[in-house]
Chain A
C-alpha cells in the first residue's frame, strides 16, 4: 500500500471543516478549531498536525479530494519519496 505524509499547516487552517467532511478518518477538528491528522481514525503517538499513513489507492484519492476542498490550501500531501502531490507546485 502507498505511504503518504499528510500535513496540516495550523497557521493556515481556519476550521472550515471541508477536509473533516470528506475524509473524517484522516482529519478531525481539535479544541482550537484546527484539523489534526489521524491514521484511520486513530492517533498513535498522540495528536499531531503531521503524520505518515499507509493508505489504499482509493483512500489516497479521497484524502487528495479533502485537501483540494480546503479553502485555504492548508493540507499538504507528500509521496513516500518526498514529492509534494498537493498543492501542485
Chain B
C-alpha cells in the first residue's frame, strides 16, 4: 500500500506515524514545503519570549523520518492532482503515485499589500526566527504596532508586552473576532487591553506603511501610528487553487465527511484545511486548532487503513492575553448560531457566550470564566439543550 501525505504539519506527521504503527510494510511519503522536522507552532511564542530553547520546540528529530521508514520530501509543494491515474505532481516536477492520499496542507497567512524591514507575520518557525532577529535590532525607541483582531494579534500583544514595548493595535470591525464575539464580549476585551496600556483603534482599515528603508509607522483610516515593528495577523486561509478541476470538492476548505474522506474515494483530509462534517455539531466546518489537527491526524490514519470511525472530538482553543483568559469551544461562528446567550458582563469582568443551534448548545466562548468550560464542553458532547446549560452557568 502506498500512502502519500501532502503537508508535513501536525496533522500530516501524526497521521504518518500512526499509519506506520498500523501498517509496518506500507510505503509512506510526506511532502512538506517547510524544511524543518515537525515542530509545535504553539511553542513559537514561548521560544520568542525565551521560555523555551529553540531546539525544544521540535516534536520530531530529523532522524525520526528515516527511523520510521517514512520518505520525507522537504521544500516541495504539490501543484496538480490527477485522481484518475492517482498521482500528484510536485513543483520540482516529480510525480508521485499513490493508493491512498491524505491532504493536510493547512493554511496560509493573509498578507497586506506592503512590505518593509520591521513587518512580520507569525505562522512558521521561519517567521519566528525573522521576528527574533527584528527584536534584536530594536533600539531604545521600539514601538510595537499590531494590525489585526484575532489570535495572532493576541500573540503579538503578549510578545510586545513581554519585552515592555509600547503597543498600538488597529483592527477592522467593531472589536476582536467580529465573526464570533457579541458586542459586550468585544467591549470587555477592548477594556482589558486599554487597561493594560494598549493604544487601541477599532474600525481601522490598513492604508500604508511609513518609513524609508525601515519601518517607522503605519497608517489606517483611524490615523497615523508610530511603530518600529508591525505584526500582521489578519487571518489565514487555505490554498486550494491546485485542487481546482481535480475533482476533489472544496469550499472554505477541502470538503469531507465524518470519516475525513473527501468526495473522491481513497482521498482523505485532516487538520486546518479540512472542512469536515462534524456529527455532533451537525454541519461541515473547519476547526483551526492544535487539538483538532493532532487528533484528526491520528483518526484519519485509522480510517485510511479501513478501521473506520467517525471523528466527533469537541475541540477548543485557549490562551491568555495580557492577563485575560480566553477559551473558544466547539462551533463559535455567529453566522451559524440561532441564538447566543450572554452570561456575565463587562462590569463583572467576565463573560461567557453560549452558542445555540436547533435548541442545542454547539459552542461557547469564555472570557475570564474558565470554570464554565467543562460544562459547555460536556454539554456540546451530550447535545444538551442550550437553555439548560445557560441555567447551570447562570446559577
Contact = CB atoms under 8 A, between A and B. Distances in A.
B374 interface: yes
A74 B196 CA distance: 27
A85 interface: no
Interface string B287-313: 001110011000000000000000001
Contacts of A8: none
B373 interface: yes
Contacts of A84: none
Contact of A18 (B59, B294, B373): B294
Nearest to B40: A71
B96 interface: no
B194 interface: no
Interface residues of B, number: 27
A81 interface: no
Contacts of B320: 14-15, 33
Contact of A12 (B51, B295, B371): B51
Interface in A51-84: 69, 71-73
A71 B42 contact: yes
11 contacts: A14-B42, A14-B320, A15-B327, A29-B374, A31-B370, A33-B325, A71-B40, A71-B42, A71-B291, A73-B56, A87-B56
Given A11-B51, A16-B290, A71 B43 contact: yes
A15 B318 contact: yes
Contacts of A14: 42, 318-320
Contact of B294 (A12, A29, A32, A69): A69
Nearest to B289: A16
A21 B291 contact: yes
A18 B371 contact: no
A43 to B, nearest CB: 16
A7 interface: no
A17 B40 contact: no
B52 A29 contact: no
A32 B325 CA distance: 8
B1 to A, nearest CB: 24
Contacts of B294: 18, 69, 71
B51 A17 contact: no
Contacts of B56: 73, 87
A15 B370 contact: yes
Q: Across the A-B interface, give the 4 residue pairs with the lowest CB-CB distance, nearest first.
A: A71-B42, A15-B318, A71-B290, A33-B370
A16 B42 contact: yes
Contact of B40 (A32, A33, A72): A72
Interface string B348-384: 0000000000000000000000110110000000000
| Chief secondary structure at chain A's binding surface | loop
Most A CB contacts (10 A, CB to CB) among B40, B315, B319, B370 go to B370
Contact of B43 (A15, A21, A73): A73
Contacts of A72: 40, 42-43, 46
A32 B368 CA distance: 9
A31 B350 CA distance: 13
Contacts of B228: none
Contacts of B51: 11-12
A2 to B, nearest CB: 21
Given A12-B51, A12-B52, A32 B370 contact: yes
Interface in B15-45: 40-43
Contacts of A73: 40, 43, 52, 56, 59
Contacts of B59: 73
A31 B373 CA distance: 10
B316 interface: yes
A17 B291 contact: yes
Contacts of B318: 14-17, 33
Most A CB contacts (10 A, CB to CB) among B51, B289, B291, B315 go to B291
Contacts of B295: 18, 21, 69
B291 A31 contact: no
A87 B325 CA distance: 27
A32 B80 CA distance: 47
A71 B57 CA distance: 9
Contacts of A69: 291, 294-295
A18 B290 contact: yes
Contacts of B289: 16
Interface string B51-62: 110001001000
